[in-house]
Amino acid sequence: MKTNFFLVLNKTFHRGWIITDMNGRRLDYAKTTVNELVNGWLVPYEGISSSKFIIEFLPGSIYQKLLPFSLGSLAAAMLGAAVLYYFEKKKRR
């Protein structure tokens, strides 16, 4: 069948879900809710018999990218507090 089709993701609708091709290029397909609940994209027919897509939750991917920075900042703060505690204790002697 040579026609457009809906690609449906069975997760609660949220604007943060994005669709990309296998090269990571964001696709600008029309997004809608399906059955007033889940995510759907209208994928245009482009003369190919099969395609692969990546669907990811953008807020989740931002969190994953910032997690190492956050953990590093926490470790630096804890190390700084330990150093301050050590010098304050040494100063009181």
pLDDT for 31 beyond 90: yes
Share of the chain above pLDDT 90, in %: 56
Residue 34 phi, psi dihedral angles, 5° rounding: -115, 130
State the total domains in the chain.
Answer: 1
* Phi, psi torsion values for 51, nearest 5 degrees: -145, 155
Place 58 in a pLDDT band, splitting at 50, 70 and 90.
Answer: confident
> What pLDDT is attached to residue 62?
79
Question: What's the pLDDT band for 48 if we cut at 50, 70, 90?
Answer: low
**Structural domain boundaries enclosing 42:** 5-92
Is residue 1 scored above 70 in pLDDT?
no
| Positive or negative torsion for Cα 37, 14, 61, 55 | positive
pTM: 0.59
